Amino acid sequence: MKRWLIWVPLAAFAILFVVVASGLMRPSDTTVHSTLVDKPLPDFRLDPMVPGKPGLASGDFGKGRPRLLNVFASWCIPCIAEAPQLMALKAKGVEIDAIAIHDKGPAIADFLRRNGDPYTAIGDDARSRVQLSLGSSGVPETFLIDGRGRIVRQYIGDIRADQVDQIVRDVEAAR
């Protein structure tokens, strides 16, 4: 009468196999998207990162013109790859501010000297508090802030050359 019990381990294995196989076949998106898109920029105030360039505060945004807010670091290899695209955006009239995370002023100054300086202001976020409050999980990451101080778009990873024209259009649309 208890012959059916012999099949229980096989059935359990088959169920486990189906669950694992379905998880492996379905691609997972491990990208961390900010929950603040379409919401106001959180309050912050950051000291200047390099001499001769102002720090950054949330109050600097929302004054009628859209701006990009780039989260970067001098030690970040993709940030170096992104630098020419940021310079191209600046050349097209896009205003860009930055938050430098886990970095030192001399390293940032050297980074800007080697790769160009597209930034109007750079804030020092040594402990990544502002970065995390934005919902940013890595570098580089860029946020489009509209003229009312609201985050309207998040660009995860380094900006590529083929994205520059679209970002210019996004900035124009955020006016």
| CB distance 154 to 34 below 8 Å | yes
Q: What is the mean pLDDT of the chain?
A: 91
Predicted pLDDT of residue 12: 80
Question: Within a 10 A sphere around the Cβ of 138, how many other Cβ atoms?
Answer: 15
CA dihedral defined by 160, 165, 170, 172, rounded to 10 degrees?
140
pLDDT tens-place string over residues 76-130: 999 999 999 999 999 999 999 999 999 999 999 999 999 999 999 999 999 999 9
User: Rounded mean pLDDT of 56-64?
Assistant: 93
In the predicted structure, residue 4 carries a pLDDT above the cut 80: no
What does the alpha-carbon distance between residue 137 and residue 34 come to, in Å, rounded to a whole number? Answer: 9
Q: What is the 3-state secondary structure (H, E, C) of the chain?
A: CHHHHHHHHHHHHHHHHHHHHHHHHCCCCCCCCCCCCCEECCCCEECECCCCCCCEEHHHCCCCCCEEEEEECCCCHHHHHHHHHHHHHHHCCCCEEEEEECCCHHHHHHHHHHHCCCEEEEEEECCCHHHHHHCCCCCCEEEEECCCCEEEEEEECCCCHHHHHHHHHHHHHCC
What does the alpha-carbon distance between residue 50 and residue 48 come to, in Å, rounded to a whole number? Answer: 6
Predicted pLDDT of residue 144: 97
- Enumerate domains of the chain plus CATH numbers: 39-173 (3.40.30.10)
